[in-house]
Amino acid sequence: MDFLRRLWRHLVTGHLRVRRDFPAVVLERIEAAIKDCESRHAGEIRFAVEPALAPAQVCRGLAARQRALEVFSHLRVWDTEHNNGVLVYLLLADRAVEIVADRGAAGDRVAPAEWQAVCRAMEQHFRDGEFEQGAVAGIRGVAAVLARHPPGRRGTGNELPDKPVIL
C-alpha cells in the first residue's frame, strides 16, 4: 500500500505544484539567502527542487538520498577549487530533504546528525506548507554548520550559481 501511495504522489506532483509552492518571488528570496550566507563562510550552497521521480524510478525504489547524490553530480556541486560545495535537495512528492556535502565542505568533520537536524527542520516547515520559511531556514542551517566547521579559506569567489534550480 505504501508503494502505491508513493507512486500516486509522484504521478500527480508536477511543475505546477513547484510553481505554486515556490513562485518566482520565493525563488528570489532563496537566492538572496544563499548569497547572504555564502558571504559569511567559504562554502558554496546549491538548492534544488525536484517535483517527482519518474514512475520507473519509484518502481525501482529510488530513495531521495540516492537521487540527491545523482543531482549532486549532475549539477557539478563537487566542481569547486576547495571541494566546498553543499547541495540542499528537496524531493517535493515525498517532502524529503537531503543534504550532500563535498569532502571539503565539512563532509567528514560534520556528524551526520547535524545535517539531519537541518533536513528535519526543513521538512517540518514543508509539512506545514511553509515553503519559503523552510527553504530559508535550511540555507541558514547549512550556513551555521559551515561556520562551525569552516570549509577551507574564503575569497575564492562565487564558484557555483546561487539561483535555485528546478529539475
Find the CATH number of the domain harbouring 69: 3.10.310.50
What pLDDT is stored for residue 82 in this prediction?
84
Domain count for the chain: 1
Instruction: Domain of residue 54: give its range.
Output: 2-166
CA nearest to 97, candidates 58, 139, 59: 139
The answer to whether the pTM exceeds 0.75 is yes
Least confident interval from 12-16, 102-106, 139-143: 102-106
Taking residues 76-83, what's their average pLDDT? 89
The grid coordinates of residue 116 equal 539531519
Taking residues 62-81, what's their average pLDDT? 95
Q: pLDDT confidence of 48, banded at 50, 70, 90?
A: very high
| Residue for grid cell 513547484 | 18
What pLDDT is stored for residue 63 in this prediction?
96
Taking residues 3-15, what's their average pLDDT? 94
Strand order in the sheet with 96-101: 96-101, 85-91, 44-50, 165-166
User: SS3 sequence, the chain?
Assistant: CHHHHHHHHHHHCCHHHHHHHCCHHHHHHHHHHHHHHHCCCCCEEEEEEECCCCHHHHHCCCCHHHHHHHHHHHCCCCCCCCCCEEEEEEECCCCEEEEEECHHHHHCCCCHHHHHHHHHHHHHHHHCCCHHHHHHHHHHHHHHHHHHCCCCCCCCCCCCCCCCEEC
pLDDT one-digit tens code per residue, 115-144:
999 999 999 999 999 999 999 999 999 999
Give the CA radius of gyration of the chain: 15
Is residue 86 within 8 A of residue 102, CB to CB? The reply is yes
